[in-house]
Every structure is written in C-alpha cells, then in structure tokens.
C-alpha cells in the first residue's frame, strides 16, 4: 500500500486552534481522521483530541494488520469516542460536555470507507471530478436536501455532534474502489465555509498536494479575514497496492512488519487527563459491547 499525504492546520483569527487531525497505518490499512472542537462548549480542543485518540487506540487494537470489517469499525469507534466525551465530562463534574465534529476515512483493500458526524467534510476527487462528498449534519444542508430555502438558517447550527446529550447521528459510507491518483481530502468548516466546492475540486485536481493544500488554506484565511475560523486540511493521494505503486514517491507500508503500527496522532493534551481516561483494551471492548447491545435493542424495538 502506498500513498502521498499533506496536512496543514492554521489558527486563523481565533484565540486557539481547536482542530485536530492525524493518521494511523499498518502494512495493509490506513486511517485518516479530523475533528473540530465546537465553540460555545467547554474544552473543544480536548474533545477533538479525545475523539482522535479513541479512534487511534481502537485502530491499533483491531488492525492486525487489516480491519475485519471497516464499516463496523467506523460505527463502533465513533460511538466509542462519543461515550468517552460523556465519561470525561462526568468524571470532572462539568455542567456541559465538550463536543466535537469528526470525519474519518479508512483505505483498505483498494477501497475507501468513511464516516462523519457534524460538518467536518471528506471530498474524494478523481481526475478533477468530484466522486463523493459528505453531507453536513446542519440545518442548512437539511433544508437544501428537502428543497427548501436556507437563507434564514444559520449554517453553524448542527443537529448532531459527538458529546451531545442525545445519541449522535453517524453517516457511514463505502466501499468506494480507489484508483491511482485519486485525491481524498478531510477538512474542517474553516475551509469549506470560505472556499467553494468548485474551487476545492479544481485545486485538488490541478495541483500536486504540497501545492494544493497550502493554497486552499491560504485562500480560506484570506476570505475569512481577521475573524477567520481555524482552518485544517488533511489530504491523501492514493498510489495503489500493486507493483505500479513501487515507482511512485509516496509513503509505502510494504516494509512494515505484520504487527507494526504507526501514527501521527499525538497525545499532546493527554497529560492533563487522569490515568483512568487512558483507554486499555478491556475498557475499549467493554464499551463497544455496550454500544452494540444498545444498537441491537433499538433495532429490536423498531422491528
């Protein structure tokens, strides 16, 4: 497996950067994730960090070196991140729970699988054409999907996120077969709120990632001006799994041992947390079993 990657995160006009991003990989699978901590709630940066840390911990546990079921992994892991935010708030007696959006993509077996909650986005572009884009969990996109005007709807108002009191909505999609040269981009709303889809798609299709990503980020910052939101972009160029990939310049996982795991998701904020917040394998599995049991109960009631 081989891929190129480029990432940029800028604070913009905000006091702090509450976006987090990173990727993990084994010999046979790679996971990219991005989270945008939500303003108006406490510790947005911690919410984003906890979400990514939870995803990375479970990826390390289950990718041996492939994930048995990428879609199930996405469903369970995102829900587990939500549960960790609730537990974090309860353990500290917070009157409000830290909240975050999240978008995460898995590439395995030459195909992409992805999930999101909130309005952080995934774009997939092939030869300058849009193959897929996530639909925001916002009232703006809901109104547009229903064919109604959205002029009076605040695009910043989301109807679901991780850390919310109710069970979050998580959209899961894939598999989508990947071809060499496909571009996959994860971004926070600081980018797409200021740069049109047409400009994003055109730039990703026309330029190499080391040029396209910084150009898009700088454009968003200029458009946002002094009050620009945090702008974070994590982009991948798929270079394949066959022999042709050997001639490309991207990151290769071929030399990794079957049990090896690599990650860029850092625990920069975890020193502020109590040891109990650090997930071990038993805690992860117990939490996932509880989530699966809840899903089954809900499905039985609907049936």
Task: Quote the CA–CA distance of 265 and 33 in Å, as a whole number.
Answer: 9
Does residue 63 lie within any of the structural domains?
yes
- What residues does 232 pair with on adjacent strands? 9
Does residue 94 lie within any of the structural domains?
yes
Residue 23 has pLDDT above 90, yes or no: yes
| Pair of tokens at residue 20 | 């987090």
| Pair of tokens at residue 101 | 């959006």
Q: What is the mean pLDDT of the chain?
A: 86
Task: Quote the CA–CA distance of 160 and 96 in Å, as a whole number.
Answer: 15
Domain total of the chain? 1
Q: Which of 32-41, 172-181, 282-291 reaches the highest mean pLDDT?
A: 172-181
Nearest to 138 by CA among 112, 169, 163: 169
In this predicted structure, what is the pLDDT of residue 252? 87
Q: In what order do the strands lie in the sheet with 183-187?
A: 129-133, 121-126, 183-187, 231-238, 2-10, 251-252
Phi-psi region of 278 (alpha: psi -120 to 50; beta: other; left: phi over 0): beta
Average pLDDT over residues 86-111: 96
Does residue 290 lie within any of the structural domains?
no
Per-residue pLDDT reduced to its tens digit, 247-258: 667 888 877 888
Residue 243 banded pLDDT, cuts 50, 70, 90: low
Do 237 and 31 contact (CB within 8 A), yes or no? no
Average pLDDT over residues 12-20: 94
DSSP labels for the chain? -EEEEEEEEE-TTSSS--EEEEEEE-SSEEEEEEEEEPTTSTTHHHHHHHHHHHHHHHHHHH-SSS-S-HHHHHHHHHHHHHHHHHHHHHHTT-SS---EEEEEEEEETTEEEEEEESS-EEEEEETTEEEEEPPPSBHHHHHHHTT---TTS-TT-BS--BT-SSPPP-EEEEEEE--TT-EEEEE-HHHHTTS-HHHHHHHHHHS-HHHHHHHHHHHHHHHHGGGPPPEEEEEEEE--SSGGGGGS-SEE-TTS-TT--EE----TTGGGS-GGGS--HHHHHHHHHHHHHHHHHHHHHH-
* Structural domain range at position 97: 2-278
Task: Quote the CA–CA distance of 5 and 103 in Å, as a whole number.
Answer: 16
Average pLDDT over residues 174-198: 97
Does residue 116 lie within any of the structural domains?
yes
Per-residue pLDDT reduced to its tens digit, 147-164: 665 555 555 689 899 999
Average pLDDT over residues 56-74: 96
What is the percent of the chain where pLDDT is above 70?
80
Does residue 109 lie within any of the structural domains?
yes
Does residue 126 lie within any of the structural domains?
yes
What is the percent of the chain where pLDDT is above 90?
71
Residue 282 has pLDDT above 90, yes or no: no
Does residue 288 lie within any of the structural domains?
no
pTM given for the model: 0.85
Q: Identify the weakest region by mean pLDDT among 42-46, 63-67, 108-112, 243-247.
A: 243-247
Does residue 253 lie within any of the structural domains?
yes
- What residues does 231 pair with on adjacent strands? 10
CATH code (residue 49) = 3.60.40.10
């Amino acid at each position: 497996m081989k891929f190129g990657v480029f990432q940029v995160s800028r604070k913009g006009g905000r006091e702090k950067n509450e976006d987090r991003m990173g990727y993990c990989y084994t010999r046979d699978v790679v996971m990219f994730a991005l989270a945008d901590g939500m303003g108006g709630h406490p510790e947005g940066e911690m919410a984003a960090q906890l979400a990514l840390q939870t995803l990375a911990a479970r990826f390390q546990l289950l990718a041996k070196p492939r994930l048995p079921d990428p879609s199930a992994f996405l469903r369970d892991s995102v829900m587990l991140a939500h549960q960790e935010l609730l537990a974090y708030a309860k353990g500290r007696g917070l009157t409000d729970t830290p909240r975050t959006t999240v978008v995460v993509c898995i590439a395995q077996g030459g195909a992409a699988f992805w999930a999101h909650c909130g309005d952080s986005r995934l774009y997939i572009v092939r030869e300058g054409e849009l193959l897929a884009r996530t639909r925001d969990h916002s009232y703006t996109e809901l109104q547009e999907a229903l064919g109604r005007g959205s002029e009076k709807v605040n695009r910043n108002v989301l109807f679901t996120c991780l850390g919310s009191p109710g069970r979050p909505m998580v959209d899961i999609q894939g598999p989508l077969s990947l071809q060499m040269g496909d571009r996959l981009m994860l971004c926070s709303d600081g980018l797409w709120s200021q740069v049109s889809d047409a400009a994003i798609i055109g730039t990703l299709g026309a330029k190499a990632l080391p040029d396209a990503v910084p150009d898009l980020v700088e454009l968003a910052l200029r458009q946002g001006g002094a009050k620009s939101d945090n702008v974070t972009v994590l982009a991948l160029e798929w270079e394949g799994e066959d022999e042709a990939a050997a001639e490309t310049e991207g990151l290769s996982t071929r030399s990794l041992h079957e049990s090896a795991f690599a990650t860029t998701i850092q625990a920069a904020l975890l020193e502020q947390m109590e040891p109990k917040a650090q997930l071990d394998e038993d805690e992860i599995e117990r939490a996932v079993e509880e989530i699966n049991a809840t899903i089954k109960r809900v499905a039985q009631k609907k049936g």
